[in-house]
Amino acid sequence: MWLNPEEVLLKNALKLWVTERSNDFFLLQRRRGHGESTGRITGLLVGALDTVLDSNARVTPFRILLQVPGSQISWVIASGAAIEEVNKHWDWLVHNLLHSLSVFENKEDVASFVKGKVKGLIAEEVRGRQAAQEEDPEKFREALMKFELRFGLPSSEKLVTYYSCCCWKGRVPRQGFLYLSINHMAFYSFLLGKEVKFVIPWAEMTRLERVSTGLMTEAIRVNTRQRQREFSMFLNLDEAFGVIGQLADIALRRLLDSEGLELDRVLQQPARITKRILEEQALREYVLALFRLPRGERLHEVASCSVWTPHARCHTAGTLYTTDSYLCFSSREEGNCILLIPLSEVLSIEKAESTSPLPNPVIVSIRTKKAFQLIELQDREELVERLNSRLKALAPRHLTTTPSTTTLAVCQTQINHLKSISRFVCESVCGCQSMEQAKERLWEDHFSEFGRGVHMFRTEKIQRLVAMGIPESLRGELWMTLSDASSELEAHQGYYTSQVQKSMGQSNLATEEIERDLHRSLPDHPAFQNPTGIAALRRVLTAYAHRNPKIGYCQSMNILASVLLLYAKEEEAFWLLVAVCERMLPDYFNRRVIGAQVDQSVFEELIRERLPELAEQVPDLSSLSSVSLSWFLTLFLSVLPFHSAVCVVDCFFFHGIKAIFQLGLAVLEANAAQLSASTDDGQALMILTSFLEQVGSKESSRPPSSPPAAEESSSSSDTDIPAVRHTNITNLINESYEKFGDLTVRQIERLRCRHRIRVLQAHEDTTKENALRLVTPDVSIPSEILADVYDLFKAAAWSYGDSGRSYMERQYRLDRPQFKSLYGLLVPWPGGSNQHTDTVANRTFTLLDQDRDNLVTFREFAGWLDTLYCEELNEKIRLLYRLHIPPALTESEDDPSLMKSPLLSTNRPLCVNLPSGEVKDYQEQLKQMLQDLAKEKEKDVEKPLPLMNQVLETC
């Protein structure tokens, strides 16, 4: 490949290179020791030196130098791993440049001319290649050439990045390079004359972790179903670990049956994936999780800045994130200060005069006549211009449908239902008016200082207010605010009513499941013991199932929706349910609850990290995670008394899933001693259930501490607030914040990415077992061989997938090219030497494709293979015979071979006219053929001769 000219000193270079060809201006050199017939020590040492010291991947066996006569300085202008590649470059130089160079009088102009030509060739190559997207195109192009040459993967396999590392085999390190592509991890090493290389498909990776041993400080361990590999590196360990986890996660989500695990549009196109895009996607996932934004939001700008915080009377440093519809700010320490501003609330974004105390200020004005000041913004002019253009382009998303009579009736039903629910809430939930009044006063003080609405400052001070339990009168409003469901409702006026209309009267699996669960939601609450509450719950669940058919309806959604209806209007409850299912608990609500299982796996790792003593006493943490599954799916609503469970829901809307992780760890820590002594899963379940019941039913005698809003307020009215009694759930929540509050959203997202690999592979193992269980009774292939056939079948489907067809459409199915790739490998006769192999493979595929969807299932594939190897001779002949008649033989078959006889009709079954006029179809002919074969076989069998009939003569 052509290289950007780089100076080398010929005096030193001659020690490691041997000149093969030369002329007045160019040298073609070979690396000393490469290609020599004898394994001399010089070649071995040079090879070892290249492997160990070549951190930039620039040493290749052959190179071309540009030399100026009379100078000791030369320039490397081309290199290659094979002599054929370098010879092509040499021939091009000789035919296109050598003659022109002889006319230059000034020899220094020769170097400038050649350098310009080479750079032009490089620029022309880079335009159409993926290297143009990398930070260092030249080095990446070299690594790409080595990757393609060494591993022989399909041309569509795209290299993403590469690292210099050691692969450990026991106690022996092998220095080499780790190549990461869209579908594979590959390693190559050449040390002391010994070559080591292997390829690991992402689809085979079952576990990824970082380990520490005595020989290496820290290493990356990659587990597959067959073995494990460990890699260590001096630099970029964190980066490599993250990229490996991302690529494996993306590949598995793209290939496996994810059922709702949606990828970003960029990641759905493997050819566009680069290292830079992976970094952007990781940051985007973190921002969406931190601010709980809609999954469709795209991240645009990321800028360091400081925001004026009136409650602290200072500027708080942090990072500004801008998306399609939001301005988001987070302090440097996650959780100290968070600000979320929907662009729909923004009136203007303006630059202010820059001063030394306030450098590069920007003023963001919102509709509630408030303004936010941002300072220390880099590239302020460009940022403000982009935000203003986006603000102008933000069209209103209101629906233009006119409410019908049915719509107005539904709205009136909502109003009546709200009054009914409010009465039930006041009677059954509000137990202490003085406590509620005290909470309301504290929240009003908080609003006056921190703001009210979606764009209020969210700091640690609000945490203790939320832990006390949000007042009943404010709970619905604050849930809508903290989840930003209010922005969705405002932007989609009339949407819920239209969904109710479209879903009314429909009958499907989701509606049937909803009807079964309506009366099980909150059976002890009076709000759902009457037709009004049940009807409202039915409308919310049915409307959401119609909105999102991929999720439809899942168990536990009814419990969550019923609680939301107690504190919010019916339309608000619908948008709260949307926020929880689609943003705050992604991938939770599907048939396999993959998101919840991923979080259970994350929870196990957090137990090992945060509660090591409990992990030592209970080696199998799966029992604890199985108990805690309901905690995550129902937000503790199914295990705590109602008045305590809604306090957990308050924390969830403020902190997101982090609150559930923290509370779960606190519950296990409080019961660590009893859990360590438990003997089975049932006893552990009883311990935790009893503890949670006591937490929700008893009140703590410990006097409460004043909330931070009350502590720092200068108003003397705080002394008039009556003492607020803290229940045990409040104490437990506060303890979870104190002991596990350092858990961050970034940590959770990284753990989720890594543990999703394990969960998806576990589902794949289950799928394989089910597939084999269904096919095994119908075939005679041994189970061990059938399992290997399944793996080969799956690998062919993954390696040569049709990019125009989603994996959900072709899961465990082969299209025609995929089938033909396996046909030549598995048929019992030589495939490559037979000129009719392609024709027979096409006909076999057509014969097996019984439903005519151009896909062959594993059952059909296994049945065909079983016939070839395990069935009787007559079944094998029958299969071959059917390949020469319809439907395997079609009119559209483009077959110039002799196999397609013009005498055969393709629009009717094969038949023969006998002399007597009798017609036999192909089935009768096949039976006659088998009978004739049996007779011929009997003729060839040697029969014993009859005994001689003679009389024994006696003398």
Pick from 8-17, 176-185, 284-293: least confident: 8-17
Shared domain check, 558 and 536: yes
206 within a domain of the structure (yes/no) = yes
Pick from 182, 138, 181, 148: nearest CA to 163: 181
Q: How far is it, in rounded angstroms, from Cα 176 to Cα 658?
A: 40
pLDDT of 188 reads 94
When pLDDT is cut at 50, 70 and 90, the band that residue 813 belongs to is confident
**Cβ atoms < 10 Å from Cβ of 183:** 22
User: Do 553 and 485 have their domain in common?
Assistant: yes
Q: Is the residue at 573 inside a domain?
A: yes
Locate 746 and state its tokens: 């970034």
156 and 262 share a domain?
Answer: yes
pLDDT confidence of residue 152: 86
What is the predicted pLDDT for the residue at 910? 47
| Token duo for residue 497 | 């009513």
Residue 482 has, within 13 A of its CA and on its CB side, a CA count of 22
Q: Tell me which long-range contacts 917-926 makes (C-beta under 8 A, separation of at least 24).
A: 922/881, 922/885, 926/877, 926/878, 926/881
Query: Could you tell me if 268 and 311 lie in one domain?
Result: no
Question: Highest mean pLDDT range out of 41-50, 488-497, 518-527?
Answer: 488-497
Q: Kindly state the average pLDDT of the residues 33-50.
A: 53
Split at pLDDT 50, 70, 90, the class of 811 is: low
Sign of the dihedral through C-alpha 662, 667, 671, 675: negative
Do residues 586 and 605 share a domain?
A: no
Residue appearing with tokens 């007597």:
916
Query: What is residue 589's predicted lDDT score, i.e. its pLDDT?
Result: 85
CB-count burial class (<10 Å; 0-12, 13-18, 19+) for 357: exposed
Whether 302 contacts 319, CB under 8 Å: yes
194-201/62-67 β-pairing = unpaired
pLDDT tens-digit profile of 736-790? 999 998 999 999 999 999 999 999 898 888 888 988 999 999 999 999 999 999 9
Asked whether the CA dihedral 621, 627, 628, 630 is positive or negative, the reply is: positive
What's the pLDDT score for residue 573? 95
Q: Dump pLDDT digits (tens) for 297-307.
A: 999 999 999 99
C-alpha gyration radius of the chain = 36
Range of the domain at 555: 474-591
Same domain membership, residue 577 and residue 481: yes
- Cβ atoms within 10 A of the Cβ of 152, count? 8
Question: Are residues 93 and 149 located together in one domain of the fold?
Answer: no
Q: Give the pLDDT confidence score for residue 66 in this predicted structure.
A: 86
DSSP classification of residue 403: P
Q: Which among 914, 600, 651, 568 is positioned nearest to 755, based on CA atoms?
A: 600
DSSP type of residue 395: -
- Number of domains, the chain: 6
Token pair 């022109």 is found at 100
pLDDT in tens, 290-340: 999 998 899 999 999 999 998 888 999 999 999 999 999 999 888 889 999
**Of 20, 35, 23, 32, which is closest to residue 59 (Cα–Cα)?**
32
**Are 879 and 782 within one domain?**
yes
Residue that finishes a domain, picked among 537, 560, 591: 591
pLDDT digits (tens, 9 = 90+) for 880-901: 888 888 888 876 655 444 444 4
What is the phi/psi pair of residue 520, to 5°? -100, 0
pLDDT of amino acid 409: 40
- State the Cα–Cα distance between residues 621 and 598, nearest whole angstrom: 14
pLDDT mean over 259-287: 80
| Nearest residue to 202 (alpha-carbon basis) of 232, 230, 223 | 223
Cβ contact 923:867 at 8 Å: no
3-state secondary structure of 633: helix
Q: Supply 150's token pair.
A: 């060494």
How far apart, in whole angstroms, are the C-alpha atoms of residue 409 and residue 71? 93
Tell me the residue length of the chain.
Answer: 955
Does residue 824 belong to any structural domain of this protein? yes
pLDDT above 70 for 83: yes
**Cα 2 from chain centroid (whole Å):** 37
Does pLDDT of 673 surpass 80?
A: yes
**Is residue 239 in some structural domain?**
yes
Mean pLDDT of the 239-244 span: 93
Are 813 and 877 in the same domain?
Answer: yes
Torsion of Cα atoms, 255 then 261 then 265 then 267, to 10°:
-50
Looking at residue 779, the DSSP 8-state letter turns out to be: -
Digit-coded pLDDT (tens) for 413-462: 444 444 444 444 444 444 457 888 888 999 999 998 888 989 999 988 88
Average pLDDT of the chain, as a whole number: 79
User: Any idea what the CATH number is for the domain that residue 267 is in?
Assistant: 2.30.29.30
Question: What pTM does this model have?
Answer: 0.75
Tell me: do 117 and 151 sit in the same domain: no
> Tokens 């002889």 belong to which residue?
102
Of 126-130, 372-376, 385-389, the least confident: 126-130
Among 128, 156, 187, residue at a domain's last position:
128
Three-class SS of 711-772: HCCCCHHHHHCCCCCCEHHHHHHHHHHHHHCCCCHHHHHHHHHHHHHHHHHHHHHHHHHHHH
Alpha-helix residue ranges (DSSP H) falling in 136-190: 137-151
| Residue where a domain stops, chosen among 104, 128, 152 | 128
By DSSP bridging, strand 326-331 and strand 337-342 are antiparallel
Helix (H, G, I), strand (E, B) or coil at 708: helix
Mean pLDDT of 116-132: 62
Q: What whole-number distance in Å separates Cα of residue 532 and Cα of residue 442?
A: 34
CA distance 321 to 216: 38
Residue 701, pLDDT above cutoff 60 = no
Helix axes 237-255, 275-291, angle to 10 degrees: 80
Report the percentage of the chain scoring pLDDT > 90.
Answer: 33
Q: Is pLDDT of 401 > 60?
A: no
CATH number at residue 667: 1.10.472.80
3-state secondary structure at position 338: strand
Asked if the structure places residue 279 within a domain, the reply is no
C-alpha–C-alpha distance, residues 69 and 62, integer Å:
22
Q: Is residue 259 part of a domain?
A: yes
| Residue 340 and residue 246 share a domain | no
Please give the helix or strand (H or E) that residue 349 lies within, else none. Answer: strand 346-351
Res. 845: pLDDT tops 60: yes
Q: DSSP states of 786-831 as a string? A: HHHHHHHHHHHHHHT--TTS-HHHHTTEE-HHHHHHHHHHHSSS-S
* CATH number of the domain encompassing residue 875: 1.10.238.10
Is 318:337 a contact under the CB 8 Å cutoff? yes
| pLDDT at residue 98, as a whole number | 80
Is 34 found in the same domain as 58?
Answer: yes
> Residue 409 falls within a domain, yes or no?
no
Given this model, what pLDDT does residue 57 score?
Answer: 37
Residue 168 within any structural domain of the chain: yes
Average pLDDT over residues 140-165: 88
pLDDT, tens digit, 9 for 90 and up, residues 51-70: 444 433 345 788 888 887 77
Residue 356 has a CB neighbour count (10 Å cut-off) of: 5
Amino acid at site 570: E
pLDDT tens, 646-669?
A: 999 999 999 999 999 999 999 999
Identity of the residue numbered 1:
M
Token readout for 715 is 């108003």
Residues 854-888 pLDDT 10s: 888 899 999 999 998 998 888 888 888 888 888 88
Strands 205-211 and 919-921: unpaired
Contacts of 686 (CB under 8 A, 6+ apart): none
Are 456 and 542 within 8 A, CB to CB? no
